Amino acid sequence: MGVRAVLFDYGHTLVDFRRTEEALLDAYEAIRARIEAALYMEAPEVGHLIDRVAGEIDRRVGASYEARRLEEIDLVAPFDELPRATLGLTVPPDVVQHVVALDHSAFSKTITVSEETLDVLRSLRDRGLLLGLVSNVSLLPHLMRADLEALGILALLDSTTFSSEVGTRKPDPRIFRDALEKLGVAPEEAVFVGDRLMDDVDGAQRLGMRAILTREFRQEEDPTVRPDAVIDRLGELPAVLGTMDDPGRPG
């Protein structure tokens, strides 16, 4: 069956990212000011609270991935739970949402996308292919879409699917099905492109999609997982898709 749609992983497939110490400090300073103003707390107490919340989020995310849980965590909960548990404070919902957005900015400020990647997405759209994004991320969907828009990626996609929205992570088939349903295509009509062998390649193949491993930002090895193709840069993708769409063409 011919290729009608291409689904992409996000981090280390379409974009590179790494939260820097500078970005974290800027975000924490903004969070400190917001909490001080909203709750009339002294600076030392606020600093301690922020450290507790940040540490708890990192702990929950790390433990979840280490245990290979497929259910996505609730990123907002620690911002609401810890102030109540440690200081007996109830943080108003609008303040929680603002603090979560400020924390997200430490991630947003370090994302980069290459012009080559944007050119690839434009090229595939010009071919008439449907393009979708499927990302494992605990960050909030509306903030992720704002990042995509700022990077010039959102306008080139027909759909976006985040584990924080669906509730499950790749390789759970439910998150892949959500993306396929949004595009209106069958698994056999779609190709998945990602940097993770188990989450992206194996997960997509088990549902019936073809899968391409990209090694532009990460190199994984697992002899039990066999991608349909491997690329070193996203710029190689259009040519590889051409061989998939035309089985008689040498690849």
- The tens digit of pLDDT for each residue in 38-85 reads 766 665 666 677 777 778 888 888 899 888 899 998 888 887 787 777
Take residue 147 and report the two structure tokens written for it: 């990042």
Tell me the three-class secondary structure of 101-120, residue by residue: HHHHHHHHCCCECCHHHHHH
This prediction's pTM: 0.87
Sign of CA dihedral 104, 107, 109, 113: negative
Give the integer Cα–Cα distance in Å for 205 and 208: 5
* Residue the block writes with tokens 């295509």: 185
Can you give the pLDDT at residue 83? 76
| 67 Cβ contact list (under 8 Å, min separation 6) | none
Give the integer Cα–Cα distance in Å for 61 and 44: 26
pLDDT tens digits, residue range 141-161?
Answer: 999 999 999 999 999 999 999
Confidence class for position 250, pLDDT limits 50, 70, 90: very low
Can you give the pLDDT at residue 249? 43
pLDDT tens digits, residue range 20-30?
Answer: 677 777 887 78
